[in-house]
Structure formats: structure tokens, C-alpha cells
Amino acid sequence: MKRISFAETAHSIILEYLRKGDVAVDATVGNGHDTVFLAECVGRAGQVFGFDVQTQALRITRQRMRQQDLSAQTILFHASHADMAKRIPQEFHGSVKAIMFNLGYLPGTDKSVITKTQTTLQAIDAGCRLLAEQGVITVMAYPGHAGGDEETSRLTHWLQQLDSASYIVQTVYSQHHQAHAPRLFVIKKMN
Ligand SMILES: C[S@@+](CC[C@H](N)C(=O)[O-])C[C@H]1O[C@@H](n2cnc3c(N)ncnc32)[C@H](O)[C@@H]1O
């Protein structure tokens, strides 16, 4: 039996929402796998904004985008995702169709650079405001590492207070779910 990863699940959800010409955000660029995916989805007529606090991640991703001829529709910011509302031009506010978060640390690099509860919540709050009606946010969360437990728990509570008339929140667990197993949050904006 083929196992479906959370990354594949997140991509298949995003695919239902994104069309050529749309605007999307990769809130945690890392090695750029999700940035490439989003840039391919929106095409040259679209726009992807990416955020990361690590120069190394942005360097790798810029090179990846160039190699795959996806630079034209991609703008990468060396900035915290908590600042996305300030960095993304006003004209796009309210028209972003999809935002991806992949929390935690970048595998194979400095594990001390991790997403932090406070800035993660600020960024998801900003993302909800930037999102278009019928847009979607996916958040991969990893409670199994130092700091990830608190981040996932606070995020779970924060999502519960979102206005249920405007947002539908779903949590995707692995088949053999355990307390510290990764999970995917899906936030759909209705209006
Ligand atoms: C799990 S990795 C992302 C993996 C990425 N999606 C990929 O395809 O390779 C998490 C990334 O979040 C970044 N990060 C940590 N805090 C951040 C913040 N406040 N704003 C933006 N990115 C942040 C880290 O530098 C790291 O590259």
C-alpha cells in the first residue's frame, strides 16, 4: 500500500484551490519544495510570496526557482512571516488564495532556528486577513520536538476561537495517531 505523506496531502488540498494567475504565500520557505509547488500552480500570470528568516534557505530556494524557471512569479523575503501583512503589497490583501506553513526547523540545518509560538500565531492571524474568500491555509505542525509541543497546543486552542461562521478548521492526523505525532491543520475561509 502506498503511504501518502502530509506534504502530499497538503499539496492535494491546495490544488483544489489554486488556479493559474492566483496569489499564494509560502510562509516557511526552507529548501523551497512548497515554493516550487505553489509557483507551478499559479504559473507566470500568478504571484508567490515566500518568507524565511534563514539566508541559507533563501539562497537554496532562489537557485531552485532559477533552475526551474519559476523566478518570474516568485518574490522571496528575508523576513519573519509575522510581518507578511507589511511585506505583501496592499493590492493583494484579501485576494491571496492559498498559504502554506511548515513549522519547526529545516531538516539538515541548525535546529535552533525553529518557528516560535508567538510569531506563528501572529503570522496565521495575518494570513487569515490576507486570505480571499474561499481561500485556504495549511499548517504542518510537529509537536514531537522541543518547542513544537507548546506551539501545536497553543495553535490548536487559537484555531478553536476562530469565528466558525467565517472559517472551517480541520485537523488531519496520521493513520496511527499518537499525542506527539505531526498533524496538518487546514483553515478554509468561507467569507
Ligand atoms: C520545516 S522548515 C520548512 C520546509 C519547507 N517548506 C521546504 O519545503 O523545504 C521551516 C522553516 O521555517 C523557517 N522559519 C523559522 N521561523 C520563521 C519565521 N518567523 N518566519 C519565516 N520562516 C521561519 C525556518 O528557517 C525553516 O526554514
163: left (phi over 0), alpha (psi -120 to 50) or beta: beta
* Pairwise pLDDT comparison (106 vs 52), residue with the higher score: 52
Decide: 101 and 142 in contact? Cβ < 8 Å. no
**How far is it, in rounded angstroms, from Cα 69 to Cα 15?**
20
For residue 34, the ligand 1 atom closest to its alpha carbon is: 8
Give the mean pLDDT of 75-96.
Answer: 98
Distance CA 90, CA 167 (A): 22
Ramachandran quadrant class, 30 (left: phi over 0; alpha: psi -120 to 50; beta: rest): left
Give percent of the chain with pLDDT exceeding 90.
87
Structure confidence at residue 112 (pLDDT): 82
Instruction: Report the C-alpha gap between 22 and 6 in whole angstroms.
Output: 23
Q: Is residue 61 in contact with ligand 1, taking CB distance under 6 Å?
A: no
Assign a CATH topology to domain 21-189: Rossmann fold (3.40.50)
Helices (H), 68-163: 84-87, 117-130, 148-160
Q: Provide mean pLDDT across the span 5-14.
A: 96
Please report which residue ranges of the chain form alpha helices under DSSP H: 6-17, 33-42, 55-67, 84-87, 117-130, 148-160
In this structure, of 68-72, 82-86, 171-175, the range with the lowest mean pLDDT score is 171-175
Every domain of the chain and the residues it spans: 21-189
CA distance 67 to 31: 14
Tell me which of 4 and 49 has the higher pLDDT. 49
Q: pLDDT tens digit string along 160-190?
A: 999 999 999 999 998 877 888 999 999 999 9
Q: Among residues of the chain, what percentage have pLDDT more than 70?
A: 98
Indicate which atom in ligand 1 lies nearest the CA of residue 114. 15
pLDDT in tens, 100-153: 999 999 988 778 899 999 999 999 999 999 999 999 999 999 998 888 999 999
Q: How far apart are the CA of 8 and the centre of ligand 1, in A?
A: 18
- Ligand 1, atom 2, lies closest to the CA of 106
